[in-house]
Structure 1
Amino acid sequence: MKKTGKELDAIVGEWVEEHKQRRARVDAKGEPDFIDAMLSVLDGADLGGFDADTVNKATILADRVVSESDISKLVYLQAIVKETLRLYRAAPLSAPREFTEDCTIGGYHVWKGTRLITNLWKIQTYPRIWPDPFEFKPERFLTTHKDVDVKGLHFELIPFGSGRRACPGLAFGLQMVQLTLASFVHAFEISNPSSAPIDMTESSGLTNIKATPLQVLIKPRLPSQLYG
């Protein structure tokens, strides 16, 4: 992963450096380069506040990150991913655990060898910790819960589990989701084909699946030569 990250950084770095050199030349004319195309959608964008809808905010920030070549600067997009993992974890229950010694929890004696399956959905929608727990509010991770992460250190949000048996794909999964989402909202306009709210009802079972398949309309936002 580190090797791949360095290679990707080198590629994007070359694009940005070529763009800077081209812009520095007084006689630079002709067709816009790749970075020009990426930045063209920023014209007139308003980055102040969080008044626009979630998709629009994510799109603006995804556009900006192209010029900065740093996925970590997509703070609002990261907040969207966190809120999605809070409300719609891949599975509502954790993997089974087994107590290795007798202990007392909340006044209850638990015997060694007892199996434990944690209800992560209940924890991540607990109203004392999460105001309006069933509302999709990414902004909470930029304000009241800005220090809460999903890497297993904050027990109120553990979609990947915690401790030695946490999901081994945590780091890779987060990077891929953020990169894919940023690329998607940057490249396409996304809209609802109907005026009805999107049905987010979940199916029953050990995995979290939408009961109603998602239907959206997508429209290219960039010049056609950039899609290939």
Structure 2
Amino acid sequence: MTPITLYGAEASGSISVEAALTLLDIPYTLIEGATWVEASARDRVGLQNPMRQIPTLVLPGGEVMTESAAILIYLADAHPSARLAPALDDERRRRQYLRWMVYVSSAIYSLHWIKPDVGRIGAPPELRSTVVDAVHDRIAFCWANMDRQLDPGRYLLGDELSVLDLYVTVVSRFGPWRERFYDVAPKMAPVVRRVDTDPRLRDFWARRFSFEDDEQ
């Protein structure tokens, strides 16, 4: 059977999906390409995803999945023994898991789409710096809002790692960068640091999203 194919790029939003596949020990074929800078990468992924964005996942039967949160939820649910998501009968944690997965996707991650081309929201190129600063302010506000409403254990939803932890760990590495994330989200900060240093992902992080706190 044809393996899973993932269109992605290092230090990008596809990294949370790649991290989940790594933890699940699922082999996949990676088609590398930074779609926000490479027309050829957009053209390649466009054959599967008309939005020409990553991550785009092609399942063995040819079915296409897009949207990082949806892919992560699917992978966790398809492999329940790995315990990367609250079980369906764990109703309270499951509700909060779904809530925050969608929140990170819609309230935070989606804002990064504006930054490469502020004309997407009708702003002139000469105002890019001002727009990006405003985007980063909004992202910081949204992280703070999430942090106020969570009561983490070792991880965001308790004492077990979930794909929500992977998602937040990756997205919090983007602007406005970790230093500000640590400031506005003090309860989530120890969790993402714990995922950063998870021995199961040490080699993966070094290869796909090399990162030090003082670099961000």
Does the alignment reach a TM-score above 0.5?
no
Larger radius of gyration: 1
Q: Which has the higher helix share?
A: 2
TMscore range, shorter length: under 0.3
TM-score by length of 1: 0.23
